[in-house]
Amino acid sequence: MGEPAFRPRYRVGDRLFAWALNLSTWFYVALIVGLFTVLLAGSWLAIKSFGLHFLVASSWDPVTGHFGALPFIFGTIVSSVIAIAIAAVVGIAAAAYLAEFAPPLIARPLAFLIELLAAVPSVVYGLWGLFVLAPVMRSAIGPAIQSKLGWLPLFSGPIYGVGMLTASLILALMIVPTVAAISRDFIEGVAVDQREAMLALGATTWETVRRAVLPAARPGIFGACVLALGRALGETIATTMVIGNRPAISASLFAPGYTLASVIANEFTEATTQVYISTLIGLGLLLFVISIVVNAAARILMHTVLRNVEER
């Protein structure tokens, strides 16, 4: 027989490349597992001392040793959910305008500007929120809302300027560029034949966007919103500057609140006792878990929505 006809060539490059890819992937898996382990170990003392009660207790007094995480969980989730609700509407509208309606002469610089906004450090948003938005909220926006909708518990009580609504607005402002920039890419990526199919049926530009382009871009837009939500959940400095930093659960959006990330940043340097430190690490673990759960839930939601339409 002699030499086999299709003798494998020993390819060093391929193997090295495959290993490099493997390694970098598994490095991140290891990192996440490591992070989780460290957080769990660090917060073990708190978990042992308070147990699950920690999650539902709402008093926070390090001096007397009362630690409850509920106000922070509440603040984190409420501020992020309001932010993504606003940012999704504004961001998707902006993306649709840039991709479909704006003349190229305007669309290009605008798109660049929006991407630039995504790169502004959050402390700058925080400063702007504290010195511009909060005073305006106290003197103009807040009273205006309250005069119309003050009967709702949501808009009742004194308006301090800083508070849940201000924080939500700042967060929304920060994540709009993320939603808009990514959504725009996906909207532009919708195949021409989808647009033309709708136009050929006698659709106007707006109908084409609403009925053909946006549905086709939905998975990407959804992904953009999940990414933006993740950013809002973990945002620390801007939120800390405008949310008021009071560990209380209030029905009113004008009332101050607190988030997981903010309390960790604010109090870590002041934490004197072991159990205090351990509690703050526990809050970090909570934030970590909430982020993962929200991401997973969003993904599951997206899959069910898409499957419903595509595999019926």
**Binding residues vs other proteins (CB under 8 A):** 104, 191, 193-204, 207, 211-212, 215-216, 218, 309-312
Least CB distance from residue 221 to other proteins, whole Å? 12
Are 258 and 232 in contact, with CB atoms under 8 Å apart?
Answer: no
Of 204, 175, 190, residue with least CA distance to 99: 190
The CB-based long-range contact list for 269-276 (8 Å cut-off, 24+ gap) reads 270/62, 271/62, 273/62, 273/65, 274/45, 275/45, 275/46, 275/49, 275/65, 275/67, 276/62, 276/67
List, in sequence order, every residue forming a beta bridge with 66; answer none if it has no partner: 61
> Quick one: 14 or 196, whose CB is closer to other proteins?
196
Least CB distance from residue 87 to other proteins, whole Å? 23
> Quick one: 209 or 283, whose CB is closer to other proteins?
209
> Quick one: 199 or 290, whose CB is closer to other proteins?
199
Of 210, 289, 267, 241, residue with least CA distance to 35: 289
Least CB distance from residue 218 to other proteins, whole Å? 7
| First-last CA distance in the chain | 56
HEC sequence for 213-252: HHHHHHHHHHHHHHHHHHHHHHCCHHHHHHCECCCCCCCC
Least CB distance from residue 305 to other proteins, whole Å? 10
Q: What whole-number distance in Å separates Cα of residue 78 and Cα of residue 164? A: 8
Least CB distance from residue 220 to other proteins, whole Å? 13
Q: What whole-number distance in Å separates Cα of residue 167 and Cα of residue 175? A: 12
Of 142, 166, 149, residue with least CA distance to 256: 166
Q: What whole-number distance in Å separates Cα of residue 76 and Cα of residue 133? A: 20
Least CB distance from residue 97 to other proteins, whole Å? 16
Least CB distance from residue 152 to other proteins, whole Å? 35
> Quick one: 9 or 312, whose CB is closer to other proteins?
312
Q: What whole-number distance in Å separates Cα of residue 55 and Cα of residue 176? A: 31
